[in-house]
Amino acid sequence: MASRLAGKWVLITGASSGFGAAAARHFGAEGAKLLIGARRMDRLEAVAIEAGQAGAQAVLFHPLDVSKTASVNTFVDWVRTKTTRLDVLINNAGGALGLDFVADGKDEDWETMMQTNVLGVLRMTRAALPLMLDNPGGSIINIGSFAARTVYEGGAAYCAAKAGELQITRTLRLELNGTGLRVSSIDPGLAETEFSVVRFKGDLTKASKPYEGTQPLTAEDIAETLVWVASRPPHVNIDEMLIKPTDQAAIHKVHRRKTT
């Protein structure tokens, strides 16, 4: 049976690594037409090639910085030159910066986390919505986090930002009721991507700690879920999904095997 996603236009933000790159490959394998954005163009181009090899009907890429309204608007203007209809929007771009207690928090880290995880989702959704409104069955999928639903020391700004993303998703669900558009928040727990390298600003020793002795989620696990969510029949909306590794029972309870 042909995939429900074959020929569908899928926009993925933050597609240069991690979940976004894996999503590009997985939606590509379903025969979708991809519009992908991020700041690192060399990485984006490499992902575009992989998604094309996986089977995408089209893969188009363009620079995107979701922390800047002008960049988001320019990106969507570019999208409009390629298609008049968007079927799936995946607001994935984001991440954490630092693990400082509030007492030691840095303005620039807090501001970047809010700009990308919160305002980036609002900006991109506002800009892309006109391409989706006459398209019942379309999907807006926001990448939240386990961190939206719990807290941990050093996570104040990131947890607040992801809680903000969840409330944006819930608000959109109300505002778009009756349009036939679906709105989802997919909230992963511990997953090994470049997330931790970015959070710890390139310190690979610190970045590897969260994954020591445990089996985290992979980017592929999340990408498979995104494909599943977007390919449900049009009358089915997966509102919210919390996905944790089996080893992670709670934010502070992660099973770790002894390593030699």
Which of ligand NDP, ligand 8X3, none lies near 143, with the C-beta cut-off 5 to 8 A by kind?
Answer: ligand NDP
**Alpha-carbon separation of residue 236 from 23, 139, 182 (angstroms):** 21, 10, 8
17 binds ligand NDP (CB under 6 A): yes
Which residues inside 135-154 make contact with ligand 8X3, applying CB under 6 A? 145-147
Taking a C-beta distance cutoff of 8 angstroms, is the pair 201, 108 a contact? no
Cα gap 219→8, rounded to integer Å: 22
Which of ligand 8X3, ligand NDP, none lies near 168, with the C-beta cut-off 5 to 8 A by kind?
Answer: none
Cα gap 15→223, rounded to integer Å: 11
Q: How many residues bind ligand 8X3 (CB under 6 A)?
A: 8
Taking a C-beta distance cutoff of 8 angstroms, is the pair 139, 184 a contact? yes
225 binds ligand NDP (CB under 6 A): no
Q: Which residues are catalytic?
A: 158
DSSP state of 255: -
222 binds ligand 8X3 (CB under 6 A): no
254 binds ligand 8X3 (CB under 6 A): no
184 binds ligand 8X3 (CB under 6 A): no
Which residues inside 20-39 make contact with ligand NDP, applying CB under 6 A? 20, 38-39
Taking a C-beta distance cutoff of 8 angstroms, is the pair 63, 36 a contact? no
Taking a C-beta distance cutoff of 8 angstroms, is the pair 31, 55 a contact? yes
Question: Residue-wise over 81-101: b if at least 16 C-beta within 10 A, else e?
Answer: eeeeebbbbbbbbbbbbbbbe
217 binds ligand 8X3 (CB under 6 A): no
Taking CB under 6 A as the criterion, the residue among 12, 48, 66, 118 binding ligand NDP is 66
Residues that bind ligand 8X3 (CB under 6 A): 145-147, 155, 158, 189-190, 251
Residues that bind ligand NDP (CB under 6 A): 13-20, 38-40, 43, 64-67, 92-95, 116-117, 143, 145, 188, 190-191, 193-195, 198, 219
